[in-house]
């Protein structure tokens, strides 16, 4: 049975992951600079092979994956907690206060992790409605000492979502689930920092060719749903990632899959486009933009990708 992430995650690629692996094939080096929920890595068919490197700039997210890999029992213990709104806001405040120092320690020590922060972050992500969990810019934020409600943002649907559905489905206990994740992540290099750190030649040459790279950055639209992101910075990031994709995607031994919305990337000659439809996401809870954007999802496959003649995920 495929192992999946224990928390909901906006922008995850679990639905389209099989198509991504169809394009990548059995690569000897796999790199995912914007790891998120690790939906693509966890969907890799067959036994793990070669060198696998994942990265995310969000220290709380990277800490979760590093802690699960190192001490799944401890993380599961902190994640196994009943839904309580007071606890949710208190832990939200605590985690926001920990983000900066936690990220610094993750970047300076490849073996460091915080199991309590990991478990509390995962528990809260399963309880929280919509976007804004630990972003520090939602209706609930912090002034450095206290939790403060920002009434100017209106009702974004924040609050208790559901009772840890991911941590208790399919009859699988939390301990067993996290242990399975730990087994899968054994040997996976979990980095935390700027995406370009894991995209240089030193990383791409770590395994035997071919190299597979999945680029799933915050999209040029909808950037407000990502923790700590700003409109201008995200647009610039998108442009940088697209330029990198075109450059490295021209190599015959590198297979690149770029994820984004239709109309935001002009693929060069030899690249192919795959249309797919995502679930509505957080946006579907509001004015319907999430449902509209779900039909705009695209994968762009570099010339070295396998089986790239199919133009749509739904073609025969």
What CATH number is attached to the domain comprising 215? 3.40.50.150
Q: 173 and 234 in one domain?
A: no
Q: 316 and 201 in one domain?
A: yes
The pLDDT value recorded for residue 160 is 28
Q: 179 and 71 in one domain?
A: yes
Least confident interval from 39-43, 46-50, 219-223, 224-228: 224-228
The pLDDT value recorded for residue 142 is 54
The pLDDT value recorded for residue 17 is 95
CA gap 195, 182 in Å, rounded: 23
Q: 315 and 248 in one domain?
A: yes
CA gap 60, 125 in Å, rounded: 11
The pLDDT value recorded for residue 163 is 36
258 within 8 A of 265, measured Cβ to Cβ: yes
Q: 97 and 24 in one domain?
A: no
Higher pLDDT among residues 82 and 158, named by residue: 82
CA gap 99, 58 in Å, rounded: 8
Q: 98 and 43 in one domain?
A: no
The pLDDT value recorded for residue 172 is 55
Strand partners, 29: 51, 211
For the chain, the residue count is: 316
Tokens of 23: 């394009």
* pLDDT band (50, 70, 90) for residue 191: very high
* Residue with tokens 């690629």, as numbered in its chain: 13
303 within 8 A of 271, measured Cβ to Cβ: yes
Helices (H), the chain: 17-24, 39-42, 59-70, 72-79, 85-108, 115-127, 174-185, 201-204, 231-248, 289-294
Q: 316 and 259 in one domain?
A: yes
- 120, 6, 133, 124: which is closest to 74 by C-alpha? 120
For residue 88, give its domain range: 58-186
Higher pLDDT among residues 178 and 136, named by residue: 178
pLDDT at 100 over 50: yes
Q: 197 and 181 in one domain?
A: no
pLDDT at 213 over 90: yes
Q: 155 and 268 in one domain?
A: no
pLDDT at 62 over 90: yes
pTM: 0.82
Whether cis (ω within 30° of 0) applies to the bond prior to 210 is: yes
pLDDT at 205 over 60: yes
CA gap 168, 186 in Å, rounded: 23
**How far does CA 196 lie from the centroid of its chain?**
16
Q: 133 and 158 in one domain?
A: yes
Q: 171 and 86 in one domain?
A: yes
Last residue of a domain, one of 186, 217, 246: 186
Last residue of a domain, one of 151, 166, 186: 186
Last residue of a domain, one of 151, 186, 221: 186
Q: How many domains does the chain have?
A: 2
Average pLDDT, the chain: 82
- 184, 130, 132: which is closest to 161 by C-alpha? 130
pLDDT at 153 over 50: no
Q: 111 and 150 in one domain?
A: yes
CA gap 69, 75 in Å, rounded: 10
The pLDDT value recorded for residue 44 is 95
The residue-averaged pLDDT of 13-37 equals: 95
pLDDT at 141 over 60: no
* pLDDT band (50, 70, 90) for residue 173: confident
CA gap 270, 84 in Å, rounded: 53
């Amino acid at each position: 049975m495929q192992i999946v992430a224990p928390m909901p995650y906006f922008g995850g690629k679990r639905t389209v992951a099989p198509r991504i692996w169809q394009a990548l094939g059995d690569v000897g080096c796999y790199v995912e600079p914007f790891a998120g929920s690790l939906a693509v890595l966890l969907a890799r068919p067959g036994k793990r092979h070669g060198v696998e490197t994942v990265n995310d700039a969000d220290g709380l997210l990277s800490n979760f994956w590093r802690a699960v890999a190192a001490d799944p029992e401890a993380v599961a213990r902190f994640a196994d907690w009943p839904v309580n709104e007071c606890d949710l806001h208190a832990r939200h405040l605590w985690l926001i206060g920990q983000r900066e120092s936690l990220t610094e320690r993750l970047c300076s020590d490849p073996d460091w992790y915080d199991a309590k922060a990991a478990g509390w972050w995962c528990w809260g992500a399963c309880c929280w409605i919509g976007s804004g969990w630990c972003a520090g810019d939602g209706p609930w934020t912090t002034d450095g000492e206290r939790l403060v409600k920002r009434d100017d943002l209106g009702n974004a649907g924040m609050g208790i979502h559901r009772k840890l559905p991911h941590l208790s489905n399919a009859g699988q206990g939390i301990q067993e689930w996290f242990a399975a994740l730990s087994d899968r992540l054994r040997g996976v290099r979990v980095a935390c920092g700027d995406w370009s750190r894991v995209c240089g030649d030193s990383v791409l040459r770590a395994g035997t060719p071919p190299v597979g790279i999945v680029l799933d950055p915050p999209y040029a639209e909808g950037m407000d749903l990502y923790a700590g992101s700003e409109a201008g910075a995200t647009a610039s990031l998108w442009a940088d990632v697209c330029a990198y994709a075109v450059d490295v995607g021209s190599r015959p031994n590198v297979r690149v899959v770029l994820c984004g919305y239709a109309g935001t990337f002009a693929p060069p000659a030899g690249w192919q486009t795959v249309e797919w439809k995502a679930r509505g996401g957080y946006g579907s809870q509001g004015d319907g933009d999430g449902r509209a954007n779900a039909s705009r999802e695209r994968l762009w496959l570099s010339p070295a990708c396998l089986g790239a003649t199919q133009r749509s995920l739904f073609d025969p």
